[in-house]
Amino acid sequence: YQQTSEWQGLYGSLEVQMTLEDASGNVFYNWTSFNVNNGEVYFSRYGDVDFANILDPLASFVPYVQNVYGVANTTGADNLTSTFVDGVHTNFEINGTSITSPTPRVLTYNYTNSPIFETVLLREGGVNRDVYAAIIHENTVGFDGTTVDYQALLPIQTSTGFAQYYVYAELS
């Protein structure tokens, strides 16, 4: 095997805790924390994503992202167009917009090498920017044998250097 410098895997578990606090952080009331059953974790290189304008992209958006933004733009097997291909994924909604199959996506593996975890490529309309959605699979054994809620495969090489991502979540 050969390591790639084009990609980074992110994974984790989600737990929500709600409190009513003052500006100093003094807790007035603490609700019981709860695990997240489903939803998505979103990753974007932009801090001003317009989630009201997220679209289900066509397959032609993948080479656009690769060429315009220089994302995972290699001639090797680890380029963006070889990694994110149209395929079946769990359907979900973002701000009332249905994201249904087929959509450019990549599947990552669990501990038994089964392709379970889904990262879907989305398009922010108007500005044609890429946003990645990791679909939550609650309490699932991840690639390393630990229990996680999501795994995401993200391109980290761009034409301007290493990418930094903002993280957003829609939980239910």
For 62-85, the pLDDT digits (tens) are 999 999 888 887 778 889 999 999
Write the DSSP assignment of 2-41 as a string of letters. ---SSEEEEEE--EE--EEE-TT--EEEEPPPEE--SEEE
State the pTM of this model. 0.89
Q: pLDDT tens-digit profile of 105-150?
A: 999 999 999 999 999 999 999 999 999 999 999 999 999 999 999 9
Predicted local confidence at residue 15, as pLDDT: 84
Tell me, what's the pLDDT at 80? Answer: 92
Q: In whole angstroms, how large is the CA radius of gyration of the chain?
A: 17
